[in-house]
Structure 1
Amino acid sequence: MTTADNSKVEIRSLADCTFNQAVELWNLGFSGYYSDMSTTLEKFIPRLGQESIRPGLSVAAFVDGEPAGFVLIALKRVGGIDLAWNGGTGVSPKHRGKGLAKRLMKEAATIMRDSGAAKGLLEVVQHNAGAIAAYESAGFQIRDGLIGAKRTGPFPEDILEASHVKSYPIGNVKPHQIAKLPFFREETAWSSAWFNHPEADGVLVFDQNGDVGAYAIAKRRYGEDGKLLSITLLQCAADPAHPERKQLLHAALTAVFSPFEEDCMRMTDNTSTSDPALTEWLEAARFETVYTQYLMIAELK
C-alpha cells in the first residue's frame, strides 16, 4: 500500500513488533500531545495486562520501514457480551495529516468486529477535532461527556455548609452489585468501568421508601501508615425518573468524598457529565477541571 507521495505503508499486528518497537510507536504517536504521555518499556508491558490490551488484535503502521502509528485494542467479556476498547491511537508527527489515523481506525474497527465484539469504546480529548473525525470515519459516535477533576486538602467550612443535603440512608456494596440496578448506566469510560475495578467501593443511596435512588463507585488509596491519600470517583448517577434525583446524587457524592475533614487528594476519573447535577456539585466543592473528554462508541453488531 502506498500514499500520494509514493511512501510505502505497511499495517501489521502489534504482536509482530518487538517490545522496543511498540514503546517507540507509543512515544512517537503521543509526541506533542496535550499532556506528557511518554512511557518506558518497564511501564508499557504491565499496562498491556492491566488494561486487557491484546497485542494480537492491536495494529501498527510503518511507513517506508519506519514506525509511524498504532491503535491498541483491548477485549473483555462482560455480562455475556464482548466489549472492545481503543486503548490508545497515535501517529508520529512526521506522518500526521496524511490520513494514516483514519486508515488505522478503519482497520481497528474491522478487527474489533471480527473479534466478535458487540461494541467498541474509546475516549478522546474534547478539543481534538482531528482525532474525533478519524474515529467518526470508523463508525464511532459521541455518546457522553467525561471529566477529570481534582481538589486537595480538607473541605472548608463554607463548602461543608453548601454540601449539606437531605439525609438519606447509605449502603455499601461491591461494584458488580451496582451494575444490576435498573437505572445503571452501561455506557461508561473503560478506565471507570465497574468490571475493571472489582475491589472498588460501591455506595448506594436509598430514598424514604427504601428504594435505591443513586449510586457511586470510587477507589480509596492509603499510605503505609494507614493515612488516606486519595479518593477517586469513577461513576455516580441517580435514577433519572426520581423526583429527588438531584438531592440523591449529591448525597452519593457527599458519601464518597467524606469525611470532609480528611486532608487528601480528591478526584474524578473519566466520570460521566451527563447529569448537570454532578458538575454543579463539583464546582460548588471547588474541584479544578483537569481534562474533559468524550466517550465514543461504535455499534459493531
Structure 2
Amino acid sequence: MTRPFLQYRFLNQTPTAVVLNTFNEAFSDYILPMHLTEAQWAYKLKNDGVDWSLSLGAFDGEALVGVILHGRNQKEFYNAGTGVIPSHRGQGITRALYAFGLPLLQEQGFEVGILEVISTNDAAKRTYEKIGFEKTAVLNCYNGTISAVGNGKAVTLQPLTPELYQAYYADKSVAPSWQNDRRAVLAHWEILEVQQIYSEQTAVGYLVYHPQSNKLIQLYIAPEFRRKGLATALLSSLFTADKKLLVTNVNSTDTALNTLFKKLGLQLFLKQDLMVLNL
C-alpha cells in the first residue's frame, strides 16, 4: 500500500538536478545499472522530448522518491523512465503516480501511452499491465564489433538535407522506436551524421548515427537495392574493428535489419517489450 503522506504532482516546479539525483538513485541497482552525468541527462531529455508539465513525481515530505518522465508527440505520450528509490519500493508508487496522472493526461487530449520495459523485468511488466498497458512488440538491442567483411562494392556517402531525410523516412515499412524516430533525429540534427548512401552514383538509402557513441540510429536501404551487400560494405567500412557499434530497439518484425546485424556478427544483448496504453 502507498504511504498516506506521499504526495503526487507534476514536475514542472521541481529543479531538474533534483530529478536527476532521484533518477540515478532509482537506477543504481537496476538490471542494467545506470548513472547519468549532467551531459548525458541533457541529451536524454532532449532526445526523448521530456516535458516536465507531463512528468510525474512522488514526494515524501520534501524528498522526491519516485519519478515518471514523459515525452510528448501530438496525442501520444512516452514513458522515458520510471524509477523509485530503493527505500520506497513495494508501496505501489508507480501505480499511484499513474492513478494521479492519467486522468489529467486524458483531459489534455492524449490518447495513447508508450513505454519500453526490459523483457525479463517481470515485476515491472506486471505493474504496467495492471495499469492497462499491453505488450505490442519486442525490440532487440545489439552491440559489438563488426566481423563481416564488405564485398568490395563501392559505397559512398553525402550529407542529407532534413527535407530529403523526411521524404526517405516516410518510405520505411517498420517505424523506429521513440528514441530513434524522426522527432529524435531532428532534435539532434547538428550532432548526428545523417548521410545519403550511393552505389555507382545511384541513391540507395540513408543512415543516421551518433559518432561520439558509435550508435547507429537509423539505416534504410530501398527494397530494390537490398541483398546486394551494400549495407554490409557500408557498415564494415564505417565501424572498423576499433569501434564498438551500438544499435537499440530494433523491432523484431523488421526481418531485414535483424538479419543484417546478426550477419555482421553483432551480439543481441537485450530484449525489450514495447507496451501501449489506449486511453
TM-score class, shorter: 0.7 to 0.9
2:83 to 65, 83, 90: 90
- The residue number in structure 2 matching 1:179 is 169
Distance 1:268 1:216 in 2: 16
Query: Is this contact kept in 1: 2:197–2:207, CA < 8 A?
Result: no
Deviation at 1:99, TM superposition (A): 1.5
Kindly provide the CA deviation profile for residues 79-134 of structure 1, in whole angstroms up to 9, marking residues without a partner as x: xx433211110111122222111222344443443332343222111111121222
Query: Is this contact kept in 1: 2:77–2:110, CA < 8 A?
Result: yes
Deviation at 1:277, TM superposition (A): 4.4
Q: Quick one: structure 1 residues 46 and 285, their matched pair in 2 at CA, closer, same or farther if it must change by over 3 Å?
A: closer
Q: How does 1:202-221 map to 2 (within 5 A)?
A: 217-219=207-209, 221=211
- CA RMSD of the aligned region, Å? 3.7
1:126 to 108, 119, 129: 119
Kindly provide the CA deviation profile for residues 151-170 of structure 1, in whole angstroms up to 9, marking residues without a partner as x: 22xx55xx33xx769x9x99
Kindly provide the CA deviation profile for residues 166-194 of structure 1, in whole angstroms up to 9, marking residues without a partner as x: x9x9997643112322x5324x3211112
Q: Which has the higher contact order (CA 8 A, sep 6+)?
A: 2
Query: Is this contact kept in 2: 1:12–1:61, CA < 8 A?
Result: yes
Deviation at 1:204, TM superposition (A): 7.6
Q: Quick one: structure 1 residues 266 and 85, their matched pair in 2 at CA, closer, same or farther if it must change by over 3 Å?
A: same
Q: Please tell me whether residue 196 in structure 1 is matched to residue 187 in structure 2.
A: no
Q: Quick one: structure 1 residues 250 and 276, their matched pair in 2 at CA, closer, same or farther if it must change by over 3 Å?
A: farther
Distance 1:50 1:84 in 2: 14
Query: Is this contact kept in 1: 2:136–2:273, CA < 8 A?
Result: yes
Query: Is this contact kept in 2: 1:237–1:249, CA < 8 A?
Result: no
Q: Secondary structure at the match of 2:109?
A: coil
1:275 to 225, 235, 254: 254
- The residue number in structure 2 matching 1:75 is 72
Query: Is this contact kept in 1: 2:118–2:270, CA < 8 A?
Result: yes
Deviation at 1:269, TM superposition (A): 2.2
Distance 2:209 2:42 in 1: 24
Q: Secondary structure at the match of 1:295?
A: strand
The worse-fitting range, judged by mean Cα deviation, of 270-279 and 86-95 is 270-279
| TM-score of the pair, normalised by structure 2 | 0.76
* Fraction of identical pairs, as percent: 20
Q: Quick one: structure 1 residues 178 and 296, their matched pair in 2 at CA, closer, same or farther if it must change by over 3 Å?
A: farther
Q: What is the identity, as a one-letter code, of the residue corresponding to 1:117?
A: F
Q: Secondary structure at the match of 2:123?
A: helix
Q: What is the identity, as a one-letter code, of the residue corresponding to 1:37?
A: M
Q: Quick one: structure 1 residues 100 and 236, their matched pair in 2 at CA, closer, same or farther if it must change by over 3 Å?
A: farther
Number of residue-to-residue matches in the alignment: 267
- The residue number in structure 2 matching 1:226 is none
Q: Quick one: structure 1 residues 177 and 109, their matched pair in 2 at CA, closer, same or farther if it must change by over 3 Å?
A: farther
Q: Please tell me whether residue 230 in structure 1 is matched to residue 214 in structure 2.
A: yes
Distance 1:170 1:280 in 2: 23
Q: What 5-or-longer segments of structure 2 have no aligned partner?
A: none
Distance 2:237 2:36 in 1: 35
Query: Is this contact kept in 1: 2:77–2:114, CA < 8 A?
Result: yes
Q: Quick one: structure 1 residues 179 and 74, their matched pair in 2 at CA, closer, same or farther if it must change by over 3 Å?
A: same
Deviation at 1:231, TM superposition (A): 5.5
Deviation at 1:12, TM superposition (A): 1.4
Q: What is the identity, as a one-letter code, of the residue corresponding to 1:51?
A: D
Query: Is this contact kept in 1: 2:151–2:233, CA < 8 A?
Result: no
- The residue number in structure 1 matching 2:23 is 26
Q: Secondary structure at the match of 2:75?
A: strand
Q: Quick one: structure 1 residues 256 and 133, their matched pair in 2 at CA, closer, same or farther if it must change by over 3 Å?
A: farther
Query: Is this contact kept in 1: 2:119–2:273, CA < 8 A?
Result: yes
Distance 1:35 1:58 in 2: 23
Deviation at 1:215, TM superposition (A): 5.9
